[in-house]
Amino acid sequence: MKTKKLYTLWIGFLGIFLALGFYTVIRLYTKGSDTVFHADDTIPWTLLIASYVFFVLTSTGATIVASLSMVFGFSRFDPIVKRSLFIGLIALIAGFISMGLELGDPLHMFYYFISPNLKSPIWWMGAFYMSLLIILSIKFWQIHKRIGSEKIKKILSISALILEIAALTTLGSVFGFIEARPTFFGEFIQVYFLFSSIIAGISAIFFFSLIVYKLKYNGIPKSLTRMYESLSKIFAAFIGITLLFSIWRILIGLYANRPEFDALSYMVETWHYRIEIFIGLMVPFAIMIIPNFRKTFSGKLLAAILVFVGLGIERMNMVMLGQIHPIFPHFLESESIISYFPTIWEWSIAMFSLTIMLFLYTLGEKYLDLETHNVSTK
């Protein structure tokens, strides 16, 4: 009874954000992009690009975790394969929603297919992620329906992993190849994306599965504690690596002798950058390396939530870092830092993407039996 009430409340909560999102979409296409976006040519990429990066990298991370079992044969992780794949799929859909709504003229998208520019990183990124959407859907369906030969399953699993890595590094190159904007951090960002996507994936898996376990079994089922302990250690290691990269990013930026890096000096002073580093990485790292915290249910859940939220802020900081410094070194009148804060409507679309993801997850949990094993509560 209590669960039913909670469920109704939850659906109602999602409904509010869905309605707001739909209203914003209608507003975008009837009243024009200037009524929704920050609409400033010096900051062409807004919150929605950050939200796209956030979701697709979460998708990549979740698929990489699924690959531990699907590709590398670590059977201990079998129980989370289905859920991880599903998270990979719905995060990708959420990413596409953010990107699709960012586009000024999505109706022209058919030129993407009939007139491809193979030199463009964005073209490749789109191609990889679209292929992934198809492959992940087939893969998930196979597991759900328990169909498909072992050979085909393996080929699909390997293709998904290769495509994820290709997509992730291409996404990095979308930013990194822009020579005039060194604060996107060139090739560095590709490596950073890889590590941060893994923690994004694990945090999403933790978050979703732990809440389900809480509701269903009032805690992590005994049969799965060892697997979650292993995953927590992997989580700790990759949070540590991501943190290390973040610190290097700051140091490289602060010692760089180019005016554009003023953006970084500015950024490290801001509250959102501090949240990214301290709350989004350091605190969860501490939670995950101290066994007494790591082993607890709430320790894991808290670390997952902090990383999830911290990465959301990180993607935003990353997208802004490349844009907030004007690229005219001789222009006296230009502000040294261009200010930007997302409009309420940009927030609404980002929340819309997240809500769709949460909504799909709720449906998946209800109708698709995301538990691969019959878990025991003993």
> From the CB of 208, what's the least distance to other proteins, in Å?
31
Length of the chain: 378
Min separation Cβ 106 and other proteins, Å: 7
**CA 136 – CA 85 distance, rounded (Å):** 7
Minimum CB separation of residue 320 from other proteins in Å reads 12
For residue 2, report the phi and psi dihedrals to the nearest 5 degrees: -65, -40
- Which ranges of 177-221 does DSSP label H, i.e. alpha helix? 188-217
- Residues forming contacts to other proteins in the complex (CB under 8 A) are 32-34, 37, 39, 41-42, 44-45, 102-106, 108-109, 111-112, 115-117, 119-123, 126, 174, 177-181, 322-323, 326-328, 330-333
Closer to other proteins at the Cβ: 121 or 310? 121
Nearest Cα to Cα of residue 54 among 270, 254, 313, 258: 313
Q: Tokens 């994820």: give the residue.
A: 164
The burial of 154, by beta-carbon neighbours within 10 Å (0-12 exposed, 13-18 middle, 19 or more buried), is given as middle
For residues 178 and 283, which CB has a smaller minimum distance to other proteins in the complex? 178
DSSP per-residue letters across 30-71: HH-GGGTS---TTS-S-HHHHHHHHHHHHHHHHHHHHHHHHT
Angstrom distance (rounded) from CA 230 to CA 307? 18
Nearer to other proteins, 1 or 180 (CB): 180
**Shortest distance, CB of residue 43 to other proteins, whole angstroms?**
9
Q: What is the per-residue burial (b if ≥16 Cβ within 10 Å, else e) of 171-189? A: bbbbbbeeeebbbbbbeeb
Beta carbon nearer to other proteins, 103 or 254: 103
Query: Which residue, 123 or 188, is less far from other proteins as judged by CB?
Result: 123
47: amino acid identity, one letter: L
Nearest approach in angstroms of CB 123 to other proteins is: 4
- Backbone φ and ψ for 39, nearest 5 degrees, come out as 55, 60
Q: Would you say 79 or 342 has its CB closer to other proteins? A: 342
Q: What is the largest CA-CA distance in the chain?
A: 70
| Residue number with CB closer to other proteins (126 or 201) | 126
Which residue number, 123 or 266, has a Cβ lying nearer to other proteins? 123
Distance, CA of 322 to CA of 209 (rounded, Å): 35
**Least distance from other proteins to the Cβ atom of residue 18, Å:** 24
Backbone angles phi, psi at 115, to 5 degrees: -140, 65
Query: Do 171 and 193 form a contact (C-beta atoms < 8 A)?
Result: yes
Q: Counting beta carbons within 10 angstroms of the beta carbon of residue 254, is it exposed (0 to 12), middle (13 to 18) or buried (19 or more)?
A: exposed
Smallest distance from other proteins to CB 102, Å: 8
Determine the Cα–Cα distance for residues 319 and 184; give it in Å rounded to an integer: 7
Nearer to other proteins, 3 or 257 (CB): 257
Q: How far is the CB of 44 from other proteins (least distance, A)?
A: 4
Distance CA(124)–CA(109), nearest Å, equals: 14
CB of 174 to other proteins, least distance (A): 7
Indicate the residue among 1 and 332 with the shorter CB distance to other proteins.
332
CB of 290 to other proteins, least distance (A): 42
First to last CA, the chain: 24
